[in-house]
């Protein structure tokens, strides 16, 4: 088993160009499941940095109901690790979001009995033999009830936010000058998702979400590096200057779409030192609204994520079909529409609230 | 009635949340055993969660909210803090109810009157139903 993990970590080191993902996220960093993993994440291949701030530390104590909230920011930059905010400006590609949710645990009778025990423990005249007997009996009731009932919990949340893309779009329609062919595009999108998580027993957490999003097709544009050379000649002297552009070309479309996502997490123990969270099957359903130039896309994948028993994330692998039913007609071969990647996630014990300590 | 239910709000009070072991003026019988000073350190894995009011040592409810460490997976008495708990003849009754995923666990270390107990560390792993429960006498 140790050798397996060494191979896994070596693979992580070698395949830095592979697409990355986070604990329960798909290749683009989205998920329908709220895991109590508040931390900084680094995506190796896309050079992305994300930060989360939330009250998930309250999840260490299970209550009948509790409110969850969180803020997260994610920035990426094709030229290296991003700064989340740069002089008050959004980085070329960034997303900020906030969520609020309600968690309900279904250990109702246990909570009531434990509350009664506490009331007895803190009452005037305690301790005495008779009250202690009552507490023992109540504890027996708690245990008997829990033997019959697997743990169950439901989370309902609203996740909303903004995303930005700032880039240059190359268009060969403008013939006034070559420089004029590079247009600055400032895309401002927004999204809202409603999701439900259901936890059952020790193994399963299921998640589903539905959302509306203002999006663009930058992912399908051709990314190219251009070099524009200007030559000025005076007499027998020649001055040449170079301007470099990183620009996208193709039919750019900003549009509205509806998303559906599902996840099914399976928790297992690998060894004394390692655990795994297997996102057995996740799906992403994307339907554009009133935009015939954009096809609907259905993605599906599976992902295995390893973490150490104390909670520190160790890495993972995923396989995803980016176009399950070939709506994009990119290739008829199913296996060519598959992508594989590695996962990397680090937790910094001194920064913000965290559930995966160093 | 053997008890007069006067509810005490523990939040913000000192940790000696157990009432002095005085004889109730009613027919209640003085409990067997003695009062001891207890400190503890509880560590849990990432996805484990302890039920509200679900942790008691020697018939004292442990205030988890107040005892949570900077690391959200750790709970402990801090500095000179201790709980005044009832030690029965058979030992110190420790009850803990928690939920978790497969492979999750919690580990508890106790000191009674400044001395580590022989049972240290007490450790429980998630059962098939997703519970990590414990109810035993520790001496």
Of A114, A123, A205, the CB nearest to B97: A114
**Cross-strand bridge partners of residue A147:** none
A88 CB neighbour count, 10 Å cutoff: 5
pLDDT score recorded for residue A40: 44
Of B30, B60, B126, the CB nearest to A121: B60
List all residues 6 or more positions away from A290 whose beta carbon is below 8 Å from its beta carbon. A255, A256
Looking at chain B from residue 106 to 125, which residues have their Cβ under 8 Å from any Cβ of chain A? Answer: none
In this complex, is the C-beta atom of A138 within 8 Å of any C-beta atom belonging to chain B?
no
pLDDT score recorded for residue A303: 83
Of B7, B53, B64, the CB nearest to A123: B7
Burial class of residue A336 in the structure, from the number of CB atoms within 10 Å of its CB (0-12 exposed, 13-18 middle, 19+ buried)? exposed
pLDDT score recorded for residue A32: 59
3-state secondary structure of B65: helix
> How far apart are the CA of B114 and the nearest CA of chain A, in angstroms?
23
In this complex, is the C-beta atom of A269 within 8 Å of any C-beta atom belonging to chain B?
yes
* Residue bearing the bigger pLDDT, B52 or A127: B52
- Chain A residues within an 8 Å CB radius of B66: none
Cα–Cα nearest to A62, from A195, A157, A151, A194: A151
Are the CB atoms for A303 and A20 separated by under 8 Å?
no
CB contact under 8 A, B101 and A203: yes
3-state secondary structure of B52: strand
In this complex, is the C-beta atom of A63 within 8 Å of any C-beta atom belonging to chain B?
yes
CB contact under 8 A, B72 and A355: yes
> How far apart are the CA of B10 and the nearest CA of chain A, in angstroms?
8
pLDDT score recorded for residue A163: 86
In this complex, is the C-beta atom of A99 within 8 Å of any C-beta atom belonging to chain B?
no
pLDDT single digits (tens) B115-131: 999 999 999 999 999 99
Burial class of residue A37 in the structure, from the number of CB atoms within 10 Å of its CB (0-12 exposed, 13-18 middle, 19+ buried)? buried
Nearest CA in chain B to A57: B72
Are the CB atoms for B63 and B40 separated by under 8 Å?
no
3-state secondary structure of B64: helix
Instruction: Establish, for the pair of chains A and B, how many residue pairs have beta carbons separated by less than 8 Å.
Output: 194
d(CA B95, CA B61): 9
d(CA A198, CA A208): 9
CB contact under 8 A, A125 and B133: no
Token duo for residue A252:
């750019």
CB contact under 8 A, A357 and B73: yes
In this complex, is the C-beta atom of B66 within 8 Å of any C-beta atom belonging to chain A?
no
CB contact under 8 A, B97 and A125: no
Listed by start position, the domains of chain B span 34-138
d(CA A41, CA A23): 10
Token duo for residue A15:
């395949």
| SS3 track for chain A | CHHHHHHHHHHHHHCCCCECCCCCCCCCCCCCCCCCCCCCEEECCCCEEEEEEECHHHHHEECCEEEEEEEEEEEECCCCCCCCEECCEECCEEEEEEEEEEEEECCHHHHHHHHHHHHHHCCECCCCHHHHHHHHHHHHHHHHHHHHCCCEEEEEEEEEEEEEEEEEEECCCCCCCCHHHEEEEEEEEEEEEEEEEEEECCCEEEEEEEEEEEEECHHHCEEEEEEEEEEEEECCEEEEEEEEEEEEECCCCEEEEEEEEEEEEEEEECCCCEEEEEEEEEEEEEEEECCCCCCCEEEEEEEEEEEECCCCEEEEEEEEECCCCCCCCCCCCHHHHEEEEEECCCCCCCCCCCCCCC
Question: What ipTM was predicted for this assembly?
Answer: 0.80
Vertex A358, ends A75 and B80: CA angle to 5°?
Answer: 125
Q: How far is CA B134 from CA A146, A214, B56, B99, B126, in A?
A: 12, 50, 10, 12, 11
d(CA A135, CA B93): 11
Per-residue pLDDT of chain A (358 residues; tens, 9 = 90+): 445 444 443 333 333 323 233 344 555 555 556 554 444 454 544 556 677 788 888 989 999 999 988 888 877 664 444 443 444 334 467 888 888 989 999 999 999 999 999 999 999 888 888 999 999 999 999 999 999 999 999 989 888 999 888 888 998 887 788 888 888 898 999 999 898 889 999 999 888 889 999 998 887 888 888 999 999 999 999 999 998 888 899 989 999 999 998 888 898 999 988 888 888 888 889 899 988 888 888 888 888 888 887 767 777 787 888 777 776 667 777 677 677 666 554 322 212 223 333 2
**Cross-strand bridge partners of residue A200:** A152, A204
pLDDT single digits (tens) B28-43: 566 678 999 999 999 9
Percentage of residues of chain B with pLDDT beyond 90: 68
User: For chain B, how many residues are written?
Assistant: 139
In this complex, is the C-beta atom of A123 within 8 Å of any C-beta atom belonging to chain B?
yes
- Chain B residues within an 8 Å CB radius of A110: 51, 54, 97
> How far apart are the CA of A76 and the nearest CA of chain B, in angstroms?
28
DSSP state of B68: B
Q: Work out the average pLDDT over B59-68.
A: 96
B84 sits in which H/E element: strand B83-88
Burial class of residue B54 in the structure, from the number of CB atoms within 10 Å of its CB (0-12 exposed, 13-18 middle, 19+ buried)? buried
d(CA A95, CA A191): 10
- Chain A residues within an 8 Å CB radius of B131: 146, 151
- Chain A residues within an 8 Å CB radius of B97: 110, 114, 142, 146
In this complex, is the C-beta atom of A313 within 8 Å of any C-beta atom belonging to chain B?
no
In this complex, is the C-beta atom of B134 within 8 Å of any C-beta atom belonging to chain A?
no
Cα–Cα nearest to A50, from A250, A345, A273, A356: A345
pLDDT score recorded for residue B134: 97
**Cross-strand bridge partners of residue A70:** A54, A99
> How far apart are the CA of A94 and the nearest CA of chain B, in angstroms?
29
d(CA A244, CA A254): 26
Q: For residue B88, how many C-alpha atoms fall within 13 Å in the half-sphere facing its CB?
A: 19
pLDDT score recorded for residue A258: 95
Nearest CA in chain B to A59: B49
């Amino acid at each position: 088993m140790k050798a397996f993990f060494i191979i896994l970590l070596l693979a992580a080191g070698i395949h830095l160009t592979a697409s990355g993902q986070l604990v329960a996220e798909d290749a683009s960093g989205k998920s329908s499941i709220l895991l109590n993993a508040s931390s900084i994440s680094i995506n190796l291949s896309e050079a992305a940095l994300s930060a989360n701030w939330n009250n998930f530390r309250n999840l260490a104590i299970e209550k009948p109901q509790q409110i969850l909230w969180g803020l997260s920011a994610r920035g990426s930059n094709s030229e290296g690790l991003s700064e989340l905010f740069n002089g008050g400006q959004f980085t070329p590609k960034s997303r900020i979001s906030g969520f609020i949710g309600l968690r309900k645990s279904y250990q109702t009778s246990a909570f009531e009995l434990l509350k009664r025990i506490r009331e007895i423990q803190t009452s005037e005249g305690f301790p005495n033999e008779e009250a202690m007997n009552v507490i023992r009996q109540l504890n027996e009731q708690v245990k008997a009830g829990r033997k019959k009932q697997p743990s169950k919990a439901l989370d309902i949340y609203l996740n909303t936010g903004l995303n930005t893309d700032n880039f240059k779009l190359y268009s060969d329609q403008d013939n006034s000058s070559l420089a004029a062919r590079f247009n600055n595009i400032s895309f401002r999108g927004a999204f809202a998702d409603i999701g439900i998580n259901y936890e059952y027993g020790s193994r399963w957490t299921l998640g589903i979400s539905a959302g509306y999003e203002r999006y663009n097709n930058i992912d399908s544009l051709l990314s190219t590096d251009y070099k524009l050379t200007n030559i000025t000649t005076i007499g027998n002297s020649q001055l040449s200057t170079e301007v470099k552009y990183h620009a996208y070309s193709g039919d750019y479309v900003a549009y509205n779409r509806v998303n559906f996502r599902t996840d099914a997490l399976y928790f297992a123990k690998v060894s004394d030192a390692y655990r795994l969270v297997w996102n057995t099957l996740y799906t992403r359903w994307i339907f554009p609204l009133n935009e015939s130039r954009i096809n609907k896309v259905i993605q599906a994948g599976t992902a295995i994520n390893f973490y150490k028993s104390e909670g520190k994330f160790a890495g993972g692998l995923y396989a995803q079909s980016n176009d399950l039913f070939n709506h994009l007609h990119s290739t008829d071969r199913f296996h060519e529409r598959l992508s594989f990647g590695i996962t990397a996630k680090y937790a910094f014990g001194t920064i913000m609230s965290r559930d995966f300590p160093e | 009635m053997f008890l007069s239910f006067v509810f005490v709000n523990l939040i913000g009070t000192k940790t000696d949340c157990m009432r002095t072991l005085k004889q109730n003026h009613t027919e209640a019988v003085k409990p067997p055993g003695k009062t001891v000073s207890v400190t503890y350190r509880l560590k849990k894995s990432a996805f484990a969660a302890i039920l509200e009011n679900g942790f008691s040592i020697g018939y004292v409810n442990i205030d988890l909210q107040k005892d949570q460490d900077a690391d959200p997976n750790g709970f402990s008495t801090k500095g000179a803090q201790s709980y005044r708990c009832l030690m029965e003849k058979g030992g110190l009754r420790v009850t803990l109810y928690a939920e978790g995923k497969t492979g999750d666990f919690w580990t508890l270390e106790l000191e009674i009157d400044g001395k580590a107990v022989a049972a240290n560390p007490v450790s429980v792993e998630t059962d098939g139903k997703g519970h990590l429960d414990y109810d035993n006498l520790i001496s």
